Structure 1
Amino acid sequence: MKKLFLCAALAVCSFASVNAQSFNGGLSAALPMGDAGDISSFGVNLDVNYLWEVSEEFNVGLAAGYHHYFGSEEEIPFFGTVEYDDFGFLPIGGAARFSASEKFIIGLDLGYAIGISPDGNDGGFYYAPKVQYAITESLDIVIAYKGISRDGGSFDALSLGVEFGL
């Protein structure tokens, strides 16, 4: 955890002299996949990022958010119904965005997702490749594959949402 905070502090100091910067917030719906799809039915993600312009096409910065996945129910013969807990994660990390054109942006968030709930959720390495389409100067549609590599598996989801320039 100390390494994460050190990396974040270095990133802030490294780009403090860059003039252009932006603060963005996003909201998306998520469809759990793989291991996560077995225990969760739906998710909601709230993400924020603060980006500095390195060049006209490339921005880097910090990203954070809260991701909540709702537990599902499963009917198991001879045992009855099993209800899975909701999962909550707090991803914190770095963000990079590349403007492929005036309308399309390719991005990647990397960091660590802290497990918030249920008890015993230790979190894991967080990655989120994404593609954004600019509707207006301050509104994008975002599709992302968000994954958390955890001990014994991964927690993956495909998300679709919007991002607002704040």
Structure 2
Amino acid sequence: MKKLILVLALALTSFAASAQFSLGASFGLPTGDADTGYTFALSIDANYMFDSESEIAFGLAASYLTYFGDEIGGVDIDNASFLPLAGVVRYAVSDKFTIGTDLGYGIGLAPSGNDGGFYYRPMVAYGVGENTAINLSYSGVSVNGGTFSNIGLGIMFGL
């Protein structure tokens, strides 16, 4: 039993050592269906990328994405919030330049009745430091025939 626990601990340690964890934040301007009722979007992102010997890397992502409601005709629009969970694919075009996408499901958190929907986020990133990158993305969540989408500018920090 002790040998099994030791083998599992070594496997988990090597698994964690072969991956890269990063945290980031983005500011976005709403587009499409979200353009008229929302002023801006903010997201906090966490990525877990598995180590790869090639230019293509795969991973997992989780985010917290909020669209801040506007006031239209004296009526306040409630904020809309999502918890996107996604698979990630990144292609390193060069040492500094990366393109990729996140695909998954955005769980609706607010307002009441927000069921969430299909989540997508194509992006480009440029490394400005050893563990820092600036990214430009277009993210969207398809909800009840409409789409909450934004064009965002963000920063990611590798840990």
TM-score, length-scaled by structure 1? 0.84
Q: 1:88, 1:118 within 8 Å by CA — same for their partners in 2?
A: yes
Deviation, structure 1 residue 18: 9.3
Question: What residue number does 1:56 align with?
Answer: 54
Rg comparison, structure with higher value: 2
Question: What residue number does 1:95 align with?
Answer: 88
Question: What residue number does 1:37 align with?
Answer: 35
Classify the secondary structure of the residue corresponding to 1:102. Answer: coil
Work out the CA distance in 2 between the residues paired with 1:98 and 1:20.
17
Query: Given the alignment of the two structures, is residue 68 of structure 1 paired with residue 66 of structure 2, yes or no?
Result: yes
Query: Given the alignment of the two structures, is residue 20 of structure 1 paired with residue 18 of structure 2, yes or no?
Result: yes
Question: What residue number does 1:154 align with?
Answer: 147
Q: Structure 1 unaligned runs (5+)?
A: 1-15, 76-80
Q: 1:123, 1:150 within 8 Å by CA — same for their partners in 2?
A: yes
Gap change, CA 1:55 and 1:73, over 3 Å in 2: same
Q: Give CA deviations for 1:79-116 in whole Å, capped at 9, x if unaligned.
A: xx121100110000101111001110001000000000
Q: 1:18, 1:54 within 8 Å by CA — same for their partners in 2?
A: no
Question: What residue number does 1:7 align with?
Answer: none
Q: 1:18, 1:53 within 8 Å by CA — same for their partners in 2?
A: no
TM-score, length-scaled by structure 2? 0.87
What is the aligned residue count? 146
| Amino acid across the alignment from 2:98 | I
Work out the CA distance in 1 between the residues paired with 2:88 and 2:120.
10
Q: Among all aligned residue pairs of Structure 1 and Structure 2, give the percentage whose two residues are the same amino acid.
A: 45
Classify the secondary structure of the residue corresponding to 1:106. Answer: strand
| Amino acid across the alignment from 2:92 | S
Query: Given the alignment of the two structures, is residue 47 of structure 1 paired with residue 40 of structure 2, yes or no?
Result: no
Work out the CA distance in 1 between the residues paired with 2:150 and 2:18.
32
Question: What residue number does 1:134 align with?
Answer: 127
Work out the CA distance in 1 between the residues paired with 2:61 and 2:33.
25
Answer with 147-156 or 130-139: which moved more.
147-156
Work out the CA distance in 1 between the residues paired with 2:99 and 2:133.
12
Q: 1:91, 1:114 within 8 Å by CA — same for their partners in 2?
A: yes
Alignment of 1:109-128 (within 5 A): 109-128=102-121
Question: What residue number does 1:12 align with?
Answer: none
Q: Give CA deviations for 1:19-45 in whole Å, capped at 9, x if unaligned.
A: 631001110101111111111101110
Q: 1:19, 1:52 within 8 Å by CA — same for their partners in 2?
A: no
Q: Structure 2 unaligned runs (5+)?
A: 1-13
RMSD (CA atoms)? 1.5
Work out the CA distance in 1 between the residues paired with 2:81 and 2:146.
16
